[in-house]
Every structure is written in structure tokens, then in C-alpha cells.
């Protein structure tokens, strides 16, 4: 029996949405208040959905301590209380929108996923990020 288990984590960070490929006017028009040169911050929430077969002994799809450790190492420790534009490599070039942040988190997890859980282990089905209550982005494996 295959079940999807979702676990939510939170971290706080600051950012500024500004593209060097656009003029100042264009940046203001596209990103609005998020283009404020001084930056601003959010309480981000990250939900990881893991899909797999329920283990007959533990009743679990994934070892939560292992998932929590992975989330801490790959997501929370690097991003917690950071200025994303200044302190995170990927956002030296990419704009730290929720979309790009989701992409970076997804990529960071997938690069080590097989090494942690193995071929027969659970899969990472979806990564979802709340920037605010109203601004949510998800990356899901289809099918």
C-alpha cells in the first residue's frame, strides 16, 4: 500500500526581487514592493511530500528522523536567518522568487535523495513553499 506523507518545516529569511536584466522601472513594475532596495523578509513554510510503501513493522513510509535531518541539513540550516540574495550561491544569479527558491530546494534534496534513501526507498513526490499565506509554489513529480 502506497501512501504520501507530508511534513512541514519553517524558516525565516530576507530577500529582494530584482533582476539585473531589467531596468529599475521594469523591476518596480514587475516586482512591486518586493523590489524595495533594502529588502524584506518572510516566514517561509516548506512542505515535503514523500511517497512510498508503508513498512510492515514501523507503519511508516519514511523514517521521520532521517527526513527531518535531511531537511535541517539541506534546507533549514543553509537558509535560516539568511539574506538570500547576499548569502546563497544560487541567488547570486537567479532572482529569489518563490519559484526559484522551490527549484533550489527541490534540486538540493534530489541531489542527495538516492544516497540517503536508496533505490528501493520512498520518492520525493512534491515540494511546496509558502512565502505568505497567499503566495504558494509547488514542484511535483507527475505520474
Partner 1 sequence: MIISKKVEFSASHVCRSPELSDADNFRVYGAAANPLGHGHNYVVEVAIAGEPDPVTGMILDLKRLKEILEAKVLDVYDHRLLNREVEPFDRIVPTVENIAIDIWNRLAARIDDTGRARLHSVRVHETNELFAEYRGE
Residues lying near partner 1 in the complex (CB under 8 A) are found at: 1-9, 54, 57-61, 63-65
CB of 8 to partner 1, least distance (A): 4
In angstroms, the CA 30 to CA 43 distance is 22
Using the minimum distance from each CB to partner 1, give the nearer residue, 5 or 90: 5
Closest CA to 95 of 12, 24, 34, 9: 34
- The CA distance from 34 to 129, in Å, is 17
When the beta carbons of 96 and 122 are compared against partner 1, the nearer one is 122
What are the backbone dihedrals phi and psi of residue 102, each rounded to the nearest 5 degrees, phi first?
A: -60, -45
CB of 138 to partner 1, least distance (A): 14
Kindly tell me which of 4 and 111 has the beta carbon lying closer to partner 1.
Answer: 4
Instruction: Give phi and psi for 104, each to the nearest 5.
Output: -65, -40
Report the nearest approach of partner 1 to the CB of residue 46 (Å). Answer: 11
Amino acid at each position: 500500500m502506497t501512501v504520501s506523507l507530508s511534513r512541514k518545516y519553517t524558516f525565516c529569511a530576507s530577500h529582494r526581487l530584482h533582476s539585473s536584466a531589467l531596468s529599475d522601472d521594469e523591476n518596480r513594475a514587475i516586482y512591486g514592493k518586493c523590489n524595495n532596495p533594502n529588502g524584506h523578509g518572510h516566514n517561509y513554510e516548506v512542505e515535503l511530500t514523500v511517497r512510498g510503501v508503508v513498512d510492515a513493522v514501523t507503519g511508516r513510509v519514511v523514517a521521520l528522523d532521517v527526513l527531518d535531518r535531511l531537511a535541517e541539513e539541506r534546507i533549514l540550516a543553509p537558509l535560516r536567518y539568511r539574506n538570500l540574495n547576499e548569502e546563497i550561491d544560487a541567488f547570486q544569479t537567479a532572482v529569489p522568487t518563490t519559484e526559484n527558491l522551490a527549484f533550489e530546494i527541490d534540486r538540493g534534496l534530489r541531489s542527495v535523495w538516492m544516497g540517503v534513501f536508496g533505490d528501493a526507498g520512498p520518492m520525493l513526490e512534491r515540494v511546496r513553499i509558502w512565502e505568505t499565506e497567499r503566495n504558494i509554489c509547488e514542484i511535483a513529480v507527475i505520474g
